[in-house]
Structure 1
């Protein structure tokens, strides 16, 4: 069985993320959460307590992201042959799921407050929301560059970004309550924050689930890959194809290839290198595992099979 690693992929791979920015963001979110819980209880602001709950979920999510970031740098071993390459995908899945869970809790709280509105101490809400905007804004600035590197950092970035936007919404509500005594805006803003969390979290949850379930990446068409390989002169048939994404840097392919002639092993190595080049440059496949066949009695018409 031929196995190929495409070494051209090194320039394509995402650089590793430094954990220092995550630690700073964790500490800032702990400060914000504690302040908002105390302030929310004193002021009676549901929006502030909702924001505090969201910030607390962010603290947990950022810790998960940091641990995953550390684990992803560990080397493979005989008991963990892929190392911890999926740690950051799992973190992204957990973090996006918590975004949606928190949003559902916020919707429930907002509906209850709509039914039974309460007066809110707006001054405290305004000052604490300003603290949230500044601290979360700084965290967003720290994480933004890293968020483009992988799903894990993107999930952390989304948590922080939605926190900052939530604080802006809370500030708006505090000002409306202070100057116009419009107290129903508090649960309304909570509801808007919750809907936005679901909107932001769903796509990331879907993407991380696809990777964990070993689905073929959206950017890859199996039939196109089969056609690319079949176009080679010595290839008769391609079947039993599996394509999956190990993490955001590696896309693996395994397949059976039926050859037109009973070729030598040295000839197969040359063809394997050619296939490797074609699939990397045309389809972004970084790892190949090819089973060569000649005259073997199995189903040549089954492209995909368990």
Structure 2
């Protein structure tokens, strides 16, 4: 048997969004202070709920920024893949932070139905309108990376959801000002919570799936196996695994049955390049086996 690994020296580090994180955090910290302060002055739960959510997003942005920086560190003797997995942990932490914020908002809003507080509709509208601008601008900073990196997508979704939530608060302020009905404030707060929950669910699901080393949704394992099996000299493929090293990097291991013997380094290099080109898998490791009856250690342990 022979084992070979190929990683062609391409740079698979996540894009540098350091400037976007710095600007986004600064804008949102400023807005949280303004929104929370005015929410306390006016007694608006909708504003306080939105401020709490925005604060959780600031924490989320900090976690995501730290993970992006850690993901760029080179491998070490202990962390042989580097710290790419930290971006998965950051995405999961972002989802958990949002769930905590959602629970707090709903709990407080339910109490407000039985004890509504007077709020200033016009002031709410002005503050929330500022939030629309800030959150939309911050979301735009991460828009270019939202499709290729779950960590960046988490930051983008938070900011885009915040812009929509702020728009809902503007509507609440207008309705309160027009009708004078204070129960609109906690009602909108609960609506905000469910909008945030909806946007958080996919992030939570994907980050949990990644943390369990599942095959990424962007990869069809059957197609990968078929591609490997079509190679000259390959009569069988087994022990095939594809998983996420981080939110931007995929890895593969596979046993290839080749009765004709080891095909040489050029075959392995070409195969790894094909895996990257066709499936976006940057790190491929192949074990060449002459016999079709070499036992798979993982399957042996499972059957035992």
TM value normalised by structure 1: 0.87
Alignment of 1:262-301 (within 5 A): 263=261, 265=262, 267-295=263-291, 297-299=293-295
Q: Distance in 1 between matches of 2:301 and 2:226?
A: 17
Q: Distance in 2 between matches of 1:304 and 1:186?
A: 60
Question: How far off is 1:244 after superposition?
Answer: 0.9
Deviations 1:162-215 (A, max 9, x none): 222222111111121112212222112111111111111111111122222111
Matched residue pairs, number? 300
Deviations 1:112-162 (A, max 9, x none): 222332222223322322332232233223333343442222211222222
Paired residues of 1:241 and 1:303 also in contact (CA < 8 A): no
Q: Which residue of 1 aligns with 2:80?
A: 81
**Residue 39, structure 1, aligned to residue 38, structure 2:** yes
1:34/1:243 CA distance change after superposition, 3 Å:
same
Deviations 1:210-258 (A, max 9, x none): 2221111123233332232222341222111211121244321112222
Paired residues of 2:238 and 2:255 also in contact (CA < 8 A): yes
**Residue 3, structure 1, aligned to residue 5, structure 2:** yes
Alignment of 1:39-58 (within 5 A): 39-58=38-57
Q: Distance in 2 between matches of 1:43 and 1:233?
A: 73
Comparing 223-232 and 152-161, the one that deviates more: 223-232
Unaligned ranges ≥5, structure 2: none
Alignment of 1:1-306 (within 5 A): 1-6=3-8, 16-261=15-260, 263=261, 265=262, 267-295=263-291, 297-299=293-295
TM value normalised by structure 2: 0.88
Question: How far off is 1:299 after superposition?
Answer: 3.8
Q: Distance in 2 between matches of 1:69 and 1:104?
A: 28
Q: Distance in 2 between matches of 1:303 and 1:20?
A: 47
1:278/1:154 CA distance change after superposition, 3 Å:
closer
Unaligned ranges ≥5, structure 1: none
Deviations 1:25-68 (A, max 9, x none): 21221222222222122211110110111111112111112212
1:135/1:227 CA distance change after superposition, 3 Å:
closer
Paired residues of 2:5 and 2:284 also in contact (CA < 8 A): yes
Q: Distance in 2 between matches of 1:170 and 1:184?
A: 13
1:78/1:303 CA distance change after superposition, 3 Å:
closer
Which 4+ residue blocks in structure 1 deviate beyond 4 angstroms? 302-306
Q: Secondary structure at the residue paired with 2:256?
A: strand
Comparing 181-190 and 193-202, the one that deviates more: 181-190
Q: CA RMSD in A?
A: 2.6
